[in-house]
Amino acid sequence: MDKEQRDDLVSVEGIVEKIIYQNEENGYTVCELTAPSDESFILVGSMPYLCEGESISALGNWTTHPSFGRQFRVEFYEKQLPATAATILKYLSSGAIRGIGPATAKKIVEQYADETLEVLEQHPEWLADIPGISRRKAEEIGELFRTQFGMRRVMLFLSSYLSPSCAVKVYQKWGSGAVEIVRQNPYVLCDGIDGIGFEKADQIARDLGVRENSSERIAAGLAFVLSYNMNQNGHAYLPQDKLIPAAARLLSCKEEEAEDELARQVMTGKLRAAKIEGRTCIYLVRAFEAEKYICAKMDALERTDHVSDADNLAFLIEKAELENGIQYERLQKKAISDAVKNSVLILTGGPGTGKTTVVRAIIRIFESMGLDIALATPTGRAAKRLSEVTGMETKTIHRMLEMDFTGESGHTFHRDENSLLEEDVIIIDEASMIDLFLMEALLRAIRPGARLILIGDANQLPPVGAGYVFRDILESDRFSTVELTHIFRQASESLIVTNAHLIHRGEPLDLSQKDSDFFYLAAADEEKTSQIIAGLCKTRLPRAYGASVYEGIQVITPSRKGQNGTEYLNHILQEAINPASEGKKERKFRDRVFREGDKVMQTKNNYDIPWKKNGADGFGIFNGDIGVIRSIDMISQVLHIDFDGRMAEYDFMMTEELELAYAITVHKSQGSEYPIVIFPLYRYTPKLLTRNLFYTAVTRAQQMVILVGDGEVANRMIENNRQTKRYTGLGYWLTQYD
């Protein structure tokens, strides 16, 4: 928090009389404070490790809670350990130091009075002089107090720069030595702590006197540029001739200085350099190793020969046709045959080309061969859909790999080289969504000799995460690949399918048809467009198809910005569909309001959110997951959110990871399907109004597409075949294998 922000806040101080509520994970606390004037009031906010009896000063603002009245909402606070015997007794009696209860606290304070805390820190062995305290227990109490004191020291040191919750993360990572570690190199913060970026670490470094052209600063700047472009733009690497100018601009240093430091980083192995098609490319180590591992493992899988399994394949295919009462098209038969003969199969094709029919046939044939099969997808919605059409249990890839949260490293997968998946066949649908690191984790868990079948639509947008895995594998031409192109009669009767293929081929749409599942509603301007969308969601569609249709409506739009971007649409759709009402609880966070009944979306991968579903426990709510706020508990300060049957609990501090989801971007819709998709057509940057973005939006619809706005925009998007550029080496590495 900078000085200007602090100047706008109110200051209070006093002694913590009572802890009313405290969340140990994120430090959210409700407490009663007594000021020097003997006035008592309630403080709420992130105040980790706060204990009764502690003296604190806090900055914040007075607020009035609708249920609990006047409160002081804390933005920043500092602790001062209690100084008098009375306050020290209250502090120790509260359980602040494990092993000291009220009775023991009383004995210690009676013995050492105002000097008690100094004794605990400097001479804990003296406690053994008190009856009932052994030397071993005295040493344990001293160690626990020093740990608590270390936390206080870290909090005070970082208080001018970081929120209390971020300071807690720093302490949890490096313990009481965190201050010395950060003083030595402040840039470890942006490398090792989630939520602390380069700019914040750079601010701390400036205040600590770190030189602008120091090796540590330039090294951190290089890593930040690579990390930012990986996380925000999906690049697995950056060409050196792109990285150096970008880093020099960020750091305000000479390009020669950035080049010299880059050479040192590569020499010490902290960054990796590789020649790709004659160009020097710079990787973060984990991205380089992920690409290399994917190549090596897929090459090893492909080398397993399954041709002998195909001896009676024609009979098995014919039997599957008779049992299902259908006749497979030529390319479908080839896909089924290749799945049996090869260890790796890439199956692609647009909507209505029969990918699901092929998957069902493959499953039936593999089951007849006695093979065990695992089905998985990147998202929960896609898993639910695949389970419905195949009749088999389908898991998310994260769940199949038995992901677990670990406090320090974020998350881990229990399924890996040391605990391989037992199944003989791994079938992954919506594979175009898989990013570099999820693909690496998946391959590490697949046992040698198993089959891998990747199914996806290469014409959709790239994954949200780093890399362009499905496209790179497809274009490497290294593995058996079948692209289904025949549109079946039933599917061809759908304008959704017909128009999706027209979009893919770059042909204009006929928006005049009104008697199918694809509609266009013209709007005079952008304001009218958003008004029509709100009317469709609130009134017209529920009136035509019943109130239950609401759950199936999803507005999908190209951008967050503008009068038809997600930010504005979510505001007007919330007011239209789920307005404020008496008895409906809500939580305000910055400029957002989250209300019971709201549709919300998780905006980042969070591996440690626990959830329950049908009596089973799990962890992890991921970027793009959509749920509904079922209830808000104002006393415990938590929201209960239903993510397709997974009931998750969010404390109020976690609402920064949520946004309303009445309208979502096309990128966030990937991997999901919705009964009804509404898509606004409005003029925006050509970077977003592209053919594959339009194609992705249309193919999210199961039953109906409604376009609203300027019809000319639709054809401009179709004409704009600009492809998203991502720097990835996976396709190149795959071609290097013989």
> Shortest CA distance to 189 belongs to which of 231, 151, 158, 229?
158
Lowest mean pLDDT among 311-315, 496-500, 517-521: 311-315
Lowest mean pLDDT among 23-27, 427-431, 662-666: 23-27
What's the CA gap between 552 and 548, in Å, rounded? 8
Bigger pLDDT: 165 or 540?
540
Pairing of the two strands 616-621 and 663-665: unpaired
Q: What is the model's pLDDT at position 254?
A: 94
Length reported for the chain: 738
Bigger pLDDT: 86 or 225?
225
Q: What is the model's pLDDT at position 316?
A: 87
Residue 652 DSSP label? G
Pairing of the two strands 425-428 and 373-377: parallel
SS (H, E, C) 404-451: EEECCCEEEECCCCCCCCCCCEEEECCHHHCCHHHHHHHHHHCCCCCE
Name, in order, each residue with C-beta under 8 angstroms of 443's C-beta and a sequence gap of 6 or more.
293, 294, 297, 298, 301, 452
Cα 394 to Cα 189, 386, 404: the distances in Å are 39, 7, 19
Q: Where are the alpha helices (H) located in 40-115, listed in sequence order?
A: 85-93, 102-112
* Whether pLDDT at 3 is above 50: no
Share of the chain above pLDDT 90, in %: 50
Q: What is the model's pLDDT at position 437?
A: 95
What's the CA gap between 386 and 513, in Å, rounded? 31
Q: What is the model's pLDDT at position 95?
A: 67
The whole-number average pLDDT for the span 186-203 is 81
Name, in order, each residue with C-beta under 8 angstroms of 5's C-beta and a sequence gap of 6 or more.
none
Q: What is the model's pLDDT at position 7?
A: 57
Q: What is the pLDDT of residues 277-295, one digit of tens each?
A: 999 999 999 999 999 999 9
Tokens describing residue 509: 């749409």
Residue 491 — pLDDT band, cuts 50, 70, 90? low
Q: What is the model's pLDDT at position 570?
A: 95
Q: What is the pLDDT of residues 231-241, one digit of tens each?
A: 889 999 999 99
Lowest mean pLDDT among 120-124, 467-471, 634-638: 634-638
> Shortest CA distance to 702 belongs to which of 565, 600, 554, 577?
554
> To the nearest whole number, what is the mean pLDDT of the chain?
88
Q: What is the model's pLDDT at position 26?
A: 65
Name, in order, each residue with C-beta under 8 angstroms of 184's C-beta and a sequence gap of 6 or more.
none
The whole-number average pLDDT for the span 432-449 is 95
The whole-number average pLDDT for the span 716-732 is 91
The whole-number average pLDDT for the span 609-616 is 85
φ, ψ for residue 629 (rounded to 5)?
-75, 110
Q: What is the model's pLDDT at position 6?
A: 54
CB atoms within 10 A of CB 169: 22
Q: What is the pLDDT of residues 122-158, one digit of tens each?
A: 888 899 889 888 888 888 888 777 766 666 677 777 7
* Whether pLDDT at 456 is above 90: yes
Q: What is the pLDDT of residues 507-517, one digit of tens each?
A: 999 998 877 89
What's the CA gap between 584 and 575, in Å, rounded? 13
Q: What is the pLDDT of residues 574-607, one digit of tens each?
A: 999 999 998 889 888 777 899 999 999 998 777 7
C-beta separation of 210 from 217 below 8 A: yes
Q: What is the model's pLDDT at position 192?
A: 66
The whole-number average pLDDT for the span 5-28 is 79
State the first-to-last Cα distance of the chain, in angstroms, to the nearest integer. Answer: 56
The whole-number average pLDDT for the span 84-109 is 81
Residue 408 — pLDDT band, cuts 50, 70, 90? very low
Helix (H) or strand (E) holding 155: helix 135-158
Bigger pLDDT: 196 or 674?
674
* Whether pLDDT at 552 is above 80: yes
Q: What is the model's pLDDT at position 200?
A: 86
Name, in order, each residue with C-beta under 8 angstroms of 228's C-beta and a sequence gap of 6 or more.
none
Q: What is the model's pLDDT at position 312?
A: 82
Q: What is the model's pLDDT at position 177?
A: 79
- CA 226 remoteness from chain centre: 19
What's the CA gap between 714 and 691, in Å, rounded? 9
Lowest mean pLDDT among 150-159, 410-419, 561-570, 702-711: 150-159
Q: Select, from the ranges 58-72, 168-182, 320-334, 422-436, the one with the highest average predicted confidence (pLDDT).
A: 422-436
- The residue type of 495 is L
Q: What is the model's pLDDT at position 150?
A: 67
Q: What is the pLDDT of residues 653-666, one digit of tens each?
A: 778 889 999 999 99
Q: What is the model's pLDDT at position 409?
A: 47
- CA 79 remoteness from chain centre: 33
Residue 716 — pLDDT band, cuts 50, 70, 90? very high
Q: What is the model's pLDDT at position 410?
A: 57
> Shortest CA distance to 639 belongs to which of 604, 600, 606?
600
Bigger pLDDT: 361 or 102?
361
Residue 583 DSSP label? T
Q: What is the model's pLDDT at position 687?
A: 82
C-beta separation of 651 from 26 below 8 A: yes
> Given 3-state DSSP classes, what are the helix, strand and coil percentages for the chain, each rounded to the nearest 5?
45, 25, 30
What residues form DSSP beta bridges with 589? Answer: 592
* Whether pLDDT at 1 is above 50: no
Q: Select, from the ranges 39-53, 464-478, 647-661, the one with the highest average predicted confidence (pLDDT).
A: 464-478
